Structure 1
Amino acid sequence: MNGVAAIHPAVQEAIEWEVRLRGGDVSQPERDQFDAWRRADPAHEDAWARLQERLARLQALQRAPSVAVRRALNEPSHARRRVLKAGAGFATLVMAGIGTRELVRVYSLDADYHNGNTAPEKIALSDGRPMTLGASARVYAAEDNSQGHIYLAAGQIATGGTRADSQALVVKTRDGIVRTDSARLSVDALRLHTVVAVQGGDATLLSHAGEPVHASDGSVWSLSPRRIARMPETSSDIFAWTHGTLVVLDRAVPDVVETLGRYYNGYIRFPQAALSRRVSGVFPLDDPTAALRQLAEGLGLSLKLYGNVLAVASKV
């Protein structure tokens, strides 16, 4: 939950109470007001209980031994799946706190390539092609072992140029397909669409419904199931993420919140009205708290933080 979808009023109020109560210096009248809020509506008590459960799950993940996490991540994909099905190994360490499905989502234990860190990670595909994985990136190899065919399930990747003696690179997301014979690609699988930057060559974009679109060197595109549209950024702007910088021009706020959420690794809440706006800016990915504060201030909001677990933007 990163604030992109609409949040029920009771859930929003529960988050705001969490911030107030954990912020320190809470008066007795405020505590009485909190108790009255919980008793006023069963939905309030339910929202509060669910929030505490989610925060407890985050804490359980953060306490999990890093050695165990790394060992699980280093297993081949088929072995990770077997471990998950058996409920053994690393999964048993925190099963009581979060469960197998949460482990798969958070640590990408079923992906063939993944990055569980916030710093970009350089890897090589099975055919030797270089690739950079962004934070929370999850990449699957083609089930039929097709050379150069991958599926980006989540996060952002940057590919190296394709060699003359190799097959074309094909990157699929839930929104469509990107194909190139020579260009470097930055492909970002966001909730609302996939952002594709093309550099050093040309590419072809194909949505689920529509004709192929030619993407020239230096261009940036929004790829969604029924629409392909040119974006105002340059490919250099988009590729800046590989050096720790997010550059956006006239971008929808949910895109920025989602991207920063990969680096903040906690709950982010922006008002619904702010999510309908668009922003431009340069944000430091190596300091997500400063980036979130910069985003909030640019929207005329203030940002309250609860450690590395909760960030709530609200009207000043």
Structure 2
Amino acid sequence: MSDTQAARKDTLRAAAHWYALLCSEDVTEKQKHAHAAWLAEDPAHVQAWQQVEKLRQQLQMIPGAPSLNALQIKQRQDHSRRAVLRGFALLAVGSALGSLAWQRAPVESWMASHRTARGERREYTLAGGTQLVLNTATALDVVETSTTQLIRLYAGEIFIRTRNGTGKVAAAKTLQVHTEQGTVVPLGTVFTVRKLGTSTQVTVLEDEVELIPQSAGGKTQRLVAGEQAQMSSVDVEVATVSDQADSWTRGLLVAVDWPLSRLVAELSRYRTGVLRCAPSIAGLRVSGAFPIDDTDRALQAIANALPVSVDRLTQYWVTLKSSE
């Protein structure tokens, strides 16, 4: 095992310890503050904490999962309860050491020349005048060739406004956005590109873009203003979009009759730690404009509008629950 793998394993074991401790009925405020301090020490601690929580959610979807059944058993003694919880959380250690379960960002994203942290947005003007706005947790490189200006998007989301409403950044250069799923070629436009795991989401706000899936057999698709597409490496699925698809560039998340689960998932992109909602309220419908630069204020606005309450185990573990 490499030093890096050993360090990850140690961090996950620490996360398992904290999980067991905080799920105990006799957890103290001092312990909660100590946990918050541990999370703040290193982004790797937050990743490990999220991994434990994600595994718990996955196990809930498996009928009869032994670890889930164990969690549902009311223990008569606190030390027994902690042992069960710690045993569950340690499952995350073994799972997370696998390359798929860890779901770490590509190496390229850590080395990218342009990056934003979680909750951060940043603007750039590229050579030739193209304007970029990087959304939260975004990583990209800009590569110049003799004929093309390439934006390689590894993670996150970008807003792009091409110079003078054209797809040309110079007399002989064409702008392109590359992801692992394919290529986006603007045809004089304003648009956004977002990485979604195994797909790339493209939203056109003005003019047109052309989508070229990575696979040689993939069909090229043209999008016009008001359309959005999910591009895999072999296919493109097109849908219409809201006029507020770029509201994040103005510091807002605009929801129009969204299920609460979707709104919480989107807000979690701008917040360090775990943010979730209880299944019993996930389907509540919500509309409004919510600030992404102050997610606590956004959560309070949700609580004011819906019969929900904001439960904070720590600053980094927040759950929306029914208040009824």
**Range moving further from structure 2, 205-214 or 252-261:** 252-261
Cα distance in structure 2, aligned partners of 1:48 and 1:127:
47
Deviation at 1:190, TM superposition (A): 2.6
* Corresponding residue number in structure 2 for 1:194: 200
Deviations 1:255-278 (A, max 9, x none): 644532232111224457877998
Q: For 1:237, what is the secondary structure of its paired residue? A: coil
Would you say 1:243 and 2:243 are equivalent positions?
A: no
* Corresponding residue number in structure 2 for 1:218: 226
Deviations 1:240-263 (A, max 9, x none): 110011224576877644532232
Would you say 1:264 and 2:264 are equivalent positions?
A: no
Q: 1:179 to 1:103 in 2, by over 3 A?
A: closer
Residue pair 1:137, 1:153 contacting (<8 A) in 2 also? yes
Residue pair 1:304, 1:311 contacting (<8 A) in 2 also? yes
Cα distance in structure 2, aligned partners of 1:42 and 1:14:
5
Which amino acid in 2 is paired with 1:39?
A
Cα distance in structure 2, aligned partners of 1:15 and 1:276:
31
Q: 1:170 to 1:35 in 2, by over 3 A?
A: same
Counting strand residues as a fraction of each chain, which structure ranks higher?
2
* Corresponding residue number in structure 2 for 1:37: 81
Q: 1:244 to 1:149 in 2, by over 3 A?
A: same
Q: For 1:168, what is the secondary structure of its paired residue? A: strand
Could you state the TM-score of these two structures normalised by the residue count of structure 2?
0.60
Q: For 2:123, what is the secondary structure of its paired residue? A: strand
**Range moving further from structure 2, 222-231 or 133-142:** 222-231
Would you say 1:21 and 2:65 are equivalent positions?
A: no
Cα distance in structure 1, aligned partners of 2:25 and 2:106:
26
Would you say 1:110 and 2:154 are equivalent positions?
A: no
Aligned residue among 164, 176, 190 for 1:170? 176
After superposition, residues 146-165 of structure 1 pair within 5 angstroms as 147-163=148-164, 164=166
Which amino acid in 1 is paired with 2:211?
L
* Corresponding residue number in structure 1 for 2:52: none
Q: 1:146 to 1:47 in 2, by over 3 A?
A: farther
Q: For 2:157, what is the secondary structure of its paired residue? A: strand
Q: 1:240 to 1:109 in 2, by over 3 A?
A: same
Question: What 5-or-longer segments of structure 2 have no aligned partner?
Answer: 1-15, 33-73, 95-101
Residue pair 1:162, 1:169 contacting (<8 A) in 2 also? no
Q: For 1:36, what is the secondary structure of its paired residue? A: helix
Deviation at 1:290, TM superposition (A): 3.7
Deviations 1:73-117 (A, max 9, x none): xxxxxxxxxxxxxxxxxxxxxxxxxxxx999889x5411111226
Cα distance in structure 2, aligned partners of 1:18 and 1:191:
34
Higher RCO (CA 8 Å, separation ≥ 6 residues) = 1
Percent identical residues? 22
Deviation at 1:215, TM superposition (A): 0.7
Residue pair 1:190, 1:255 contacting (<8 A) in 2 also? no
Residue pair 2:118, 2:269 contacting (<8 A) in 1 also? no
Cα distance in structure 2, aligned partners of 1:20 and 1:313:
22
Cα distance in structure 2, aligned partners of 1:231 and 1:15:
46
Cα distance in structure 2, aligned partners of 1:199 and 1:43:
49
Cα distance in structure 1, aligned partners of 2:115 and 2:142:
11
Q: CA RMSD in A?
A: 4.6
* Corresponding residue number in structure 2 for 1:123: 124
* Corresponding residue number in structure 2 for 1:204: 210
Residue pair 1:19, 1:306 contacting (<8 A) in 2 also? no
Q: For 1:238, what is the secondary structure of its paired residue? A: coil
* Corresponding residue number in structure 1 for 2:44: none
- Give the total of aligned pairs: 253
Deviations 1:162-218 (A, max 9, x none): 445533321122333221131011112233643322123111123345311111123
Q: 1:279 to 1:203 in 2, by over 3 A?
A: farther
Q: 1:193 to 1:288 in 2, by over 3 A?
A: farther
Cα distance in structure 1, aligned partners of 2:180 and 2:261:
18
**Range moving further from structure 2, 116-125 or 129-138:** 116-125
Q: 1:220 to 1:45 in 2, by over 3 A?
A: closer
* Corresponding residue number in structure 2 for 1:312: 319
Which amino acid in 2 is paired with 1:199?
L
Which amino acid in 1 is paired with 2:83?
R
Question: What 5-or-longer segments of structure 1 have no aligned partner?
Answer: 1-9, 51-100
* Corresponding residue number in structure 2 for 1:84: none
Q: 1:294 to 1:304 in 2, by over 3 A?
A: same
Residue pair 1:139, 1:153 contacting (<8 A) in 2 also? yes
